Amino acid sequence: MNGSTACKRMAFKDFHTAPGLTETDEDRRRKRSLIGGDLALRRQHGKPVQFNGRWILDPIFRDDDLQSLRQFCQQQANSELAVEVGFQLGEFAVEYCVERPVSRLVGFEVRKHFCEETDALLQSCGIESARLCLADARTILPEILEPGTLDHLYVFFPDPWWKPRHVRKRLVSADFLADAAVWLRPGGRFLLKTDVQAYAQWAHALLMSNPMFTTQILADRHAGLPWTLRERRCELHGHPTWAIEAVRNEIVTRRQDFLVD
Ligand SMILES: C[S@@+](CC[C@H](N)C(=O)[O-])C[C@H]1O[C@@H](n2cnc3c(N)ncnc32)[C@H](O)[C@@H]1O
């Protein structure tokens, strides 16, 4: 067994779940776990990033971008709204928009060069129905989405963050899912794909404990959607993947009633 295989085996065994947290801990944890840190502090002390791209928006530092993103999400036209968190090289985003020309897609990515590369792809395909946000999705989604307005929330192959001290950095958390339940319209869906079995089991258990969702592990691991880059790689190397679908129920519950750790 080479070093990296040994490391992977160990990591699977050591996949940790979040410890119980008090409300104050929870608040601090949320802010600390954001990429780039607390949004208010960042806006106060940080600087806008320079980038090249037609569809890239910087809703953290540019108020015009934040407003234009809000308008894009709140359009009343009969077009579905999808959000993809962590689009990386944009393979899924581009194919999705080509297949669904009347849908709107908002992608989030924290790395500028991925935004620029995806923007170039969108432009070369003549796609105008996508917006790319250079930001941690968790900071901006609450500022742009009205409750019950989102049709699809896609999280594909998120970083697993194996170690106990990194659990708080995981994108999927009880807190994020509680927010997702508010943003999604009844019948809307949260879809997670992963190639980490422990992550799939952990996220599945979190979703099952949220009464706002009806959750299942899909038999079709591709969920009938375009593949992401990581998904292609997994297929190529015969590595198993999982797709977990959580459909937002009709019932209306207050967020704090179902927020669990
Ligand atoms: C492991 S990669 C998965 C890439 C792609 N979804 C795929 O399946 O090929 C995770 C990506 O998510 C981005 N990311 C991680 N946390 C994020 C967050 N909170 N908001 C936006 N992007 C995030 C990272 O920069 C990285 O590009």
Summarize pLDDT for 180-210 with one digit per residue, the tens. 999 999 999 999 999 999 999 999 999 999 9
Q: Where are the domains of the chain?
A: 18-258
Q: Which two tokens stand for residue 159?
A: 């970083």
Question: pLDDT of 102-161, one tens digit each?
Answer: 999 999 999 999 999 999 999 999 999 999 999 999 999 999 999 999 999 999 999 998
CA dist 122 and 145 (Å) reads 23
Question: pLDDT of 86-106, one tens digit each?
Answer: 999 999 999 999 999 999 999
CA dist 26 and 6 (Å) reads 34
What are the distances in angstroms from CA 178 to CA 10, 54, 193, 203, 207?
Answer: 31, 33, 19, 13, 9
What stretch of H or E contains 58?
A: none
Question: What topology is assigned to 18-258 in CATH?
Answer: Rossmann fold (3.40.50)
**How many angstroms separate the alpha carbon of residue 199 from the centre of ligand 1?**
15
Most ligand 1 atoms within 8 A of CB, residue of 57, 110, 177 to mutate:
110
Which residue's C-alpha comes closest to atom 27 of ligand 1? 88
Q: pTM for this one?
A: 0.87
